[in-house]
Structure 1
Amino acid sequence: MTAELAVRGGGQLAGINPLFRLALRRDRIMLPVWVLVLTLMVVSGGSSIEQLYDTPAARAEVAASMSANSSLRSMYGPVFDDSIGALVAWRFGVFAATLAAVMSLIIVIRHTREEEETGRQELLSSAMVGRRAPLTSALLTALVANALVTLFVTGGLAAQGGTGALALGIAVGATGMLFATMAAIVAQLTESARLAKGMTGGVLGLAFLLRAAGDSGVNDGSSVLTWLSPIGWAENMRPYAGERWWVLLLFVAAIAAQAAAAYTLAGRRDIGMGFLPARPGPAEGRLATAGGLAWRLQRGTLLGWTVGFAVAGVVFGGMAEGAADLVGDNEQAKEIFARMGGQEGMTQAFLATMVGMLGMMAALYVVASILRLHSEETSQRAEPLLANRLGRLRWAAGHLVIAFGGAVAIMLVGGLGLAVGYGDGFGAVLGASLVQVPAIWLLGGLAVLLYGALPKAAPAVWGVVGACLLIGWIGPALDLPQSVMNLSPFGHLPKLPGTEMQWAPVLLLTVMAVALTGAGLAALRRRDLLT
C-alpha cells in the first residue's frame, strides 16, 4: 500500500531514472556493438567509394548504370546524384536504416515484454515504479542508441558535406525510432517477446519489400509503394542530393502517434498480460518428445527465415546479369568483386559473393536458435522438463537438430532462389550454398560451447558473428590483409560457383564444429542450471 501511494504521488513515471540506468547497464555491450557496426558500415563506405570512383566521370557513369538497372534499384534504391556522399547514401542508406530498425525493436522488446515474460518486471513494479516507467526507459534507451548512430554517421561523413551527412544520419536514426515506437505498441499487444519480435520484424520486412517494389519500377523515388514504406521515407530525404527536410515531418508524426498509442495501451493492461491473449493449448498433450517440443517452439522462426532466404535468393539472382553494369570499366571495383567472389568473371564473382552473404546471414539464424536453449533455461521453463526423466542431452539435442538442420534447409532454399533468379546453374549454385554450411555450423558450435560452459557469457557469441559479418562485408572493399580475413570461418571456404572445389577447409571446419558442439554438450551435463 505504501509503494502504491508513493507511485501515485510521483506519477506513472516514478522510478524512471534507476530503470533507465539499469537498461543502459544491461546494454553496455550490445548497444556499443550495434552503434559501432552501423557507423563503420556507412563511414567506411565513403573511403571505399572515393577510391573506387575517383573521378567525376567515373561516378557519373556508375550513377547512370545504377539508375538504368531495375534489379539494383530494388536492392539499394535509386541514385539521386553522382557525388561521393550521394553514392554512399545510395549504397548504404537503405541497409543502415533497416539495421537501425532491427537494433531498436530488439532494445524496446528486451526492456518491456521480455522483462514481463521472465517475471522481473513484476518484482520491480512491486516497489515504487510507475506503470509507464518501464516503457519510457526502453524508449529512452532506443533514443540514446539512435542518437549515437546519427551523431557518429554525421561526424564520419562530414568531410563529404555537413548538410548531406546530417540528413543521412537523421534518416537512419529516425527510422530506428519509428520502429522502436512500433515495437512498443506490439509489446503491449502480445504476451510473448518472441512473437513481438516476429510481428515487428514482419512489418519491417514488408516495409523493405514495398520500398524494393516501388524503386524497381521507377528511378526517381516517387513511386506510391516507396512512400508507403518508412524505409522509403529515409531514402527520399535525399542526402547529398537536394535534401528534403520536410520528409522528417512524416517521421515525427508517425513516431509521436505510435508513442501515444503505446502509452495509452500500457496504462490499460495488467503486467504480464497482452491485448492479444495466447491461444489455449489442446486438452490433451500432443508433444511426446523433446524434439517435438523444440520443433513446436522454433517452427515459426524457421519458416520466417526460409521465406526470407527464398525472396532474397530470387532478388540476388535477378541482379547477377547486371553485375557487369555495377562496376562498368572500373578496375578497382572489379578487383573488389574478385576478392569477394574469388574470380575475375563478374557474373560468377557476383553469385559467389551473394552465396557468401547468405551464409553469413544464416549464421544469425543458427546462433539465435541455439541460444533459445539459454532463454528456456533463464525463464525457468527448462527446469520442470529436466526434473523428470528427460536428460539434458536429449533436451538440448531437440533444439540443436532444428538449429543445425534448419541452417542446411535455409541455405538450400536460398541457393534455389538464387538459381531461379539467375535462371541457370542450379546444381552449381546449390552446391555453393551447401559449402557455406560448415562455417555456419562452426559459429553454431561456438554458441553451444559458450552456452554449455559459460552460460552467462553465451550472448557474447553475437559479437563474434557481428565481427564475421563486418569482415566479410567491408574487408574486401578495404583490402584487408588475408590474415584478418581468415579470422572469419567464411574466409577459408572456396569461392563457389566458378572455382575449383577444395575439400580440406570444408572438412576441417566441419570437424571443428563437431568438436565445439561436443565440448559444449559435455560442459552442459556437468554444470548447474541457472536460477
Structure 2
Amino acid sequence: MTTVSMPAPAIRGSHRQLAGTGTLLRLALRRDRLMMPIWVLVVGGMVSSGAGSLGSLYGTPAARAELARSMSADSSLRSLYGPVFGDSLGGLVAWRFGTFAAVLTGVMSMVIVVRHTREEEETGRQELLSAAMVGRRAPLTAALLTALVANAAVALVVTAGLSGQGSGGALALGLAVGGTGMVFATSAAIAAQLTESARAAKGLTAAVIGAAFVLRAAGDASTNEGSSVLTWLSPIGWAENVRAFAGERWWVLLLLAVAILVQAAAAYALTARRDVGMSFLPSRPGPAEGRLSTAYGLAWRLQRGSVLGWTTGFLLAGIVFGGITEGAADLVGDNEQARAIFERMGGQSGLTGAFLASMTGMLGMVAALYAVASVLRLHGEETSQRAEPVLANAVGRIRWATGHLVIAFGGAALIMTAGGLGLSIGYGHELPAVLGASLVQLPAIWLLGGLTVLLYGAFPKAAVASWAAAGLALALGWIGPALKLPQWVMDLSPFGHLPKLPGTEMDWTPVLLLTVLAAALTATGLAALRRRDLAG
C-alpha cells in the first residue's frame, strides 16, 4: 500500500505546470490565423515554385551540370547560396532556395514565439492569464507548439510541392527547413527569458540568426569541396548539409533535433526560475534626470537600436550583392530565359544593369518590412499603455506619432542609402547611379508605411494586416518574374511601378504619384488617430 502513492503528486504537479496549454494554443492559433498562413505560403511557395522556374531556365541535364559547375567555382555565389551538391532539378532548388527558406522560417519562428511569450508579459496580459488556471510552463509550451505548427506546415508545403522531383529529397528538404525554424524558435524562447522586452528578445534572436548565416557564408566561401568547420557551427549549415536530392544525409537531422531539445530544456529551466514580467538581463536604469525633451527624442531613443541594426545589415548585404555582380554573367551564361527573368526584374538595361536594378529592388522590398515594423511601434506603445503617460503631458497625439514616423520614413532613407553604398563598394564603381537606384525605391517603401499608418490610425485591430501587404510585395518581387505572372498582378506591388535603375531612363511620374499617395495615406491615418479613443 506504500509503493504506488509517491509518483502521483509529481505527475499531478507536472500537469499543473502545463494546465491551460490547450486553451493558450487555440488562442495563439486564432491570433495568428492571418499572419501564419501568409508566412507558410510565402516560404513554402517560394521553394515549391523553384522547380518550375529553374526547370524552364535549365531544361537539359547538360545545362544544369554546367550551372552547378560554374556556381561551385564562384566563392561569392557560394557564400550567398551555398555549395551545389547535386545537379538534378531538385538539387538546384535546394541550392537556390534552401538557405533563404531556412532563414525565413527562423524569422517566422522568432516572431511567433516572442509574440506569445515576452510580448504577452510586457503588455500585462500574461499576468492576468496566470491569475487563472494556467500553469507556469503553459505559455512557453503553447508558443513553441504554435511555432511547431507553422514550421510543420512549411515542411508539408515544401515536401508536397517538390514531391515530383523525388519524395525522399522533398521530405529531406522540408524537414531541414522546418527543423531549422524550430531551432531558432527555441533560441527565441531562451531570449524571451533573458531579456526584459519583446524588442530586445527579437533583437537578440535576430543576432543569432544573422550570426548563423554569416558562419555558414564564411564557411562555404572558404572551400568548394564539402563544408568547412565554420559551416558545421551553423544550424543553417546543418540544413544545407542534409543534401536534399543529392544523396540525403538523414543523420544530420539529428543535429537539429538535439539542438531543439537542448535549447527547449534551457528555456524551460529559465522560465521556472523567474517571476512573470521579470528577466535575467534587466534593462539598464536611466539617468536620475531625464534628457528627452521632445517626442522626437523619445522616438529616437526607443528605435535607435533598430535603425542602426538595419543600417549595418543593409551595408553588409549591399557589399555582398555588389561583390557578386560580376558573377551574374556566369550565373546566366548564354541562357536567354534566365536573362529574360533578370530583365523583367531589373529592366532592359543590359545584364549587369538589370542585376543591379533587381538587387536594389530586393533591398527596397526588405526595407519595407523595416518601415512597417517601425510604424507599428506606435501600436505597441499604445497597447502596452506606455503612450498614456507621454500623452498626459503637453504632448499631442500628432506630435507623438510624428516622432515615430520621422524615424520610420527617415530611417528607411538611411538604410537604403547604406544599401546603395554597400552595392557600390562591392561592385567597385558607379556610385551615383547605384545610390540613385537605391533611393528611387523610397516612394514605394513610404507607400507601404503610409498604408500602415492608415490601418493603425483608423482600424488599429487590423494594423497587423500591413505585414500582409509588405509580404505580398516581397513575394511578387521575388518569385513573380520567374513565374511570369500577368502584369496586372505584378502591378499590385508599388515597386512594380518604379523605374528600373540604373541603366534605364528616369521617369519621375510614378515616383511623384507614389510619394503623394504615401503622404495622403499618412495624413488620413493621423487624422483618424486624432479622433479615435486610445486603447485602455
Report the Cα distance in structure 1 between the residues aligned to 2:12 and 2:504, rounded to whole angstroms.
67
The aligned counterpart of 1:3 is none
Report the Cα distance in structure 2 between the residues aligned to 1:7 and 1:245, rounded to whole angstroms.
38
The aligned counterpart of 2:340 is 335
* Equivalent residues of 1:80, 1:220 under 8 A apart: no
- Given the two structures, how large is their TM-score scaled by the length of structure 1? 0.98
The C-alpha deviation readout for 1:207-231, integer Å capped at 9, x for no partner, is 1011111111112342111111110
Matches within 5 A, 1:147-186: 147-186=152-191
**Is 1:370 matched up with 2:375?**
yes
Counterpart among 208, 214, 217 of residue 213 in structure 2 = 208
* Equivalent residues of 1:214, 1:221 under 8 A apart: no
**Is 1:194 matched up with 2:199?**
yes
The aligned counterpart of 1:108 is 113
**Is 1:16 matched up with 2:21?**
yes
* Equivalent residues of 2:109, 2:184 under 8 A apart: yes
Shift of 1:11: 2.3
> 2:191 corresponds to which letter in structure 1?
V
Matches within 5 A, 1:315-334: 315-334=320-339
Shift of 1:10: 3.9
Report the Cα distance in structure 2 between the residues aligned to 1:200 and 1:43, rounded to whole angstroms.
27
Q: 1:50 to 1:293 in 2, by over 3 A?
A: same
Counterpart among 283, 290, 293 of residue 295 in structure 2 = 290
> 2:197 corresponds to which letter in structure 1?
S
Report the Cα distance in structure 1 between the residues aligned to 2:519 and 2:525, rounded to whole angstroms.
10
* Equivalent residues of 1:7, 1:130 under 8 A apart: no
Counterpart among 151, 163, 170 of residue 146 in structure 1 = 151
Matches within 5 A, 1:511-530: 511-530=516-535
Q: 1:493 to 1:243 in 2, by over 3 A?
A: same
> 2:291 corresponds to which letter in structure 1?
R
> 1:160 corresponds to which letter in structure 2?
Q
* Equivalent residues of 2:382, 2:388 under 8 A apart: yes
Q: 1:149 to 1:330 in 2, by over 3 A?
A: same
Report the Cα distance in structure 2 between the residues aligned to 1:499 and 1:281, rounded to whole angstroms.
51
The aligned counterpart of 2:231 is 226
> 1:451 corresponds to which letter in structure 2?
Y
Report the Cα distance in structure 1 between the residues aligned to 2:227 and 2:489, rounded to whole angstroms.
42
Counterpart among 437, 444, 448 of residue 443 in structure 1 = 448
Shift of 1:118: 0.5
Shift of 1:7: 8.5
Q: 1:192 to 1:221 in 2, by over 3 A?
A: farther
Report the Cα distance in structure 2 between the residues aligned to 1:75 and 1:346, rounded to whole angstroms.
19
The aligned counterpart of 1:124 is 129
Report the Cα distance in structure 1 between the residues aligned to 2:260 and 2:198, rounded to whole angstroms.
21
> 2:271 corresponds to which letter in structure 1?
A
Counterpart among 297, 301, 304 of residue 299 in structure 1 = 304
The aligned counterpart of 1:390 is 395
Shift of 1:249: 1.2
> 1:309 corresponds to which letter in structure 2?
F
Matches within 5 A, 1:345-356: 345-356=350-361
**Is 1:276 matched up with 2:281?**
yes
* Equivalent residues of 1:7, 1:129 under 8 A apart: no
> 1:40 corresponds to which letter in structure 2?
G
Report the Cα distance in structure 2 between the residues aligned to 1:484 and 1:130, rounded to whole angstroms.
48
Secondary structure of residue in 2 paired with 1:124 = helix
The aligned counterpart of 2:464 is 459
Report the Cα distance in structure 2 between the residues aligned to 1:367 and 1:518, rounded to whole angstroms.
16
The aligned counterpart of 1:404 is 409
The C-alpha deviation readout for 1:74-104, integer Å capped at 9, x for no partner, is 1100111110000000000000000000011
The aligned counterpart of 2:316 is 311
* Identical-pair percentage: 74
Shift of 1:481: 1.5
> 1:142 corresponds to which letter in structure 2?
A
> 1:468 corresponds to which letter in structure 2?
A
The aligned counterpart of 2:487 is 482
- Return 5+ residue gaps in structure 2 as ranges: 1-10
> 2:132 corresponds to which letter in structure 1?
A
The aligned counterpart of 2:242 is 237
The aligned counterpart of 1:250 is 255
Aligned residues: 527
- Given the two structures, how large is their TM-score scaled by the length of structure 2? 0.97
Report the Cα distance in structure 2 between the residues aligned to 1:474 and 1:455, rounded to whole angstroms.
31
Counterpart among 95, 104, 112 of residue 99 in structure 1 = 104
The aligned counterpart of 1:36 is 41
> 1:454 corresponds to which letter in structure 2?
F
* Equivalent residues of 1:7, 1:14 under 8 A apart: no
Counterpart among 66, 71, 76 of residue 71 in structure 1 = 76
The C-alpha deviation readout for 1:374-413, integer Å capped at 9, x for no partner, is 0000111111111221101100010000000000000001
> 1:347 corresponds to which letter in structure 2?
T
Matches within 5 A, 1:426-437: 426-437=431-442
Shift of 1:109: 0.7
**Is 1:84 matched up with 2:59?**
no
* Equivalent residues of 2:314, 2:419 under 8 A apart: yes
Aligned-CA RMSD value? 1.2
* Equivalent residues of 1:377, 1:383 under 8 A apart: yes
Secondary structure of residue in 1 paired with 2:288 = coil
* Equivalent residues of 2:45, 2:157 under 8 A apart: no
Report the Cα distance in structure 1 between the residues aligned to 2:244 and 2:13, rounded to whole angstroms.
46
